[in-house]
Amino acid sequence: MKNIVILFLCFIIFGCQDVIEVDLPTEEPRLVIDALIRLEEMDNPSVLIQIKASLTSSFFDDLSPAQLQEITLTNTQSGSVIVLEESIPDTGVYENEWDLEELTQGELELTIQYGGQTYLAKTKYVPAVPLDSLEQGTTTLFGDDETEVVLTFTDNGEREDYYLFDFDFGEYLVSEDEFYQGKRFQFSFFYDSKLEDERLLTISILGIDQDFFNYMNQLIQQSGADNGPFSTPATTVKGNIINVTNTSDNDSTNKSNFALGYFAICQTFSDTLLIKK
């Protein structure tokens, strides 16, 4: 699924009669952690946390589940610690329930033990604002096949906000409120002709911090139109999950042996839209 947002990109493909063999880059399998925790039901006292652990293989292969020795979450303010367990064997999905207050108050640390290495990430909860409206538009860009959706939301004028928009199909967009601080803001997002009639879309707005904004912006640019930023990584973009094994020894190997992925806790508001073509 290709997305079009304001900027126009034109690609010209030329035929080639010769077959060219390319040696793809290879590296040792790297740990990939999808620890994006979306908090939607803020009225519930507890939250089911799910974190996915995978391993990269070769350049274009799919990810395979990773079997961790241990994965924990710690609230450094309250001192509370929770251990996540693999709910279904060999899936690489680790989960447990925790009090909502533990996720929204204070700094959170994610600690992972894998392959004799210790990985650590830190984050804090980031609030968002709800979507004011979500509707299908009638504007097209290159022809009659695109589908426009129009989003409207009102920024919180009392803080600097960064947002991550999830448009389904692994399509993402980031935005910051520099030019619409405290204002009502509306923009359009375009889907191409692959979006079929009667398709129910789920679109979300997530509150993120500046570091996650920069990370996602880089991932979106490098992942391309047909690959979402949480799909098989084609490039090595460093997130906030670092290797802290024997850090007192200043081992440079630890700095290069980081995990891919990101740890973030984001308030999320979602809405659905039934497409009519």
Radius of gyration of the chain (CA): 20
Single pTM value for the model: 0.85
C-alpha distance from residue 30 to each of 77, 92, 109, 228, 233 (Å): 31, 14, 21, 19, 10
C-alpha distance from residue 127 to each of 83, 180, 206, 222, 267 (Å): 25, 17, 8, 27, 5
What is the number of other CB atoms lying within 10 angstroms of the CB of residue 261?
27
Nearest to 150 by CA among 185, 101, 100, 111: 185
Q: Name the one residue in this structure whose structure tokens are 């398709």.
A: 199
pLDDT tens for the chain, 277 residues long, are: 545 443 333 333 334 444 445 454 556 788 999 999 999 999 999 999 999 999 986 554 578 999 999 999 999 999 999 999 998 999 999 999 999 999 999 999 999 999 999 999 999 999 999 999 999 999 887 777 789 999 999 999 999 999 999 999 889 999 999 999 999 999 999 988 678 889 999 999 999 999 999 999 999 888 764 555 555 554 578 999 999 998 665 554 567 788 999 999 999 999 999 999 8
Q: Which letter does DSSP use for residue 43 in this model? A: T
Instruction: Give the tokens for residue 7.
Output: 């900027």
Give the pLDDT of residue 195: 83
Give the pLDDT of residue 196: 87
Q: Which letter does DSSP use for residue 190 in this model? A: E
Give the pLDDT of residue 269: 98
- Confirm if 195 and 275 have CB atoms less than 8 A apart: yes
3-state secondary structure of 81: strand
Q: What is the domain partition of the chain in residue ranges?
A: 31-126+232-266
